[in-house]
Amino acid sequence: MSDKKMSSSRKHHLKSLMLSIAKGLLEEEEQEREEERRRYIDENCPPLSMPRTMQELQELCRQIHHKIDVIDEERYDLEMKVNKSNKEIDDLKIKVQDVMGKFKKPVLRKVRMSADAMLKALLGSKHTVNLDLRANLKQVKKEVKEEEKELRDVGDWRKNIEDKSGMDGRKKMFEAEA
């Protein structure tokens, strides 16, 4: 569907279908919640029967007070559990902050280490192979050009300047080039 474009009427139709399905699902969830609420009320709240005598009324009041006390105890217990858990969470947060603050990452330094030393550090005493990488290199003979030799063998610079000073020196430079 990504290659072909949908027409606006098709998009509108699909959107309305999705909305109608979602509406139906929401209605079903609402009905289930209402049924669950009624079931809970039926289990926990018996139908109220109005007493006819004073003793029956007092007995009903005692029962209601007893139920209120039980519910208050449960509520208190749950509040204490929640408070205790919150306190533990706060203590753990403080511990984490303390630990994070104590240990600073050290600045790493560059360490010069040969390949042998590195393998020995990583492998320990198991390392017996000697890696002498220079031994495996090919020997190359250098050819020194004559021009480079002359440039290196200039000698004393003061002597050179004295030879080239004055008109005689300039004449010698031109004669040497020709």
* Span 57-115, pLDDT tens digits: 899 899 999 999 999 999 999 999 999 999 999 999 988 888 887 766 778 888 787 77
What pTM was computed for the model?
A: 0.34
Q: Are 159 and 144 in contact (CB under 8 A)?
A: no
CA–CA dist 11, 20 (Å, integer): 14
Output the pLDDT for position 119.
Answer: 76
Q: Terminus-to-terminus CA distance in the chain, angstroms?
A: 85
Distance from chain centroid for Cα 21: 39
CA–CA dist 32, 68 (Å, integer): 28
Name which of 141, 119, 122 is nearest 130 in CA terms. Answer: 119
Number of residues that make up the chain: 178
> Domain extents for the chain?
12-47, 51-129
Name which of 77, 46, 75, 78 is nearest 63 in CA terms. Answer: 46
pLDDT digits 0-9 by tens, 13-47: 999 999 999 999 999 999 999 999 999 888 888 77
Output the pLDDT for position 161.
Answer: 64
Question: Could you tell me which residues come within 8 angstroms of residue 6 by beta carbon, excluding any fewer than 6 positions away?
Answer: 14
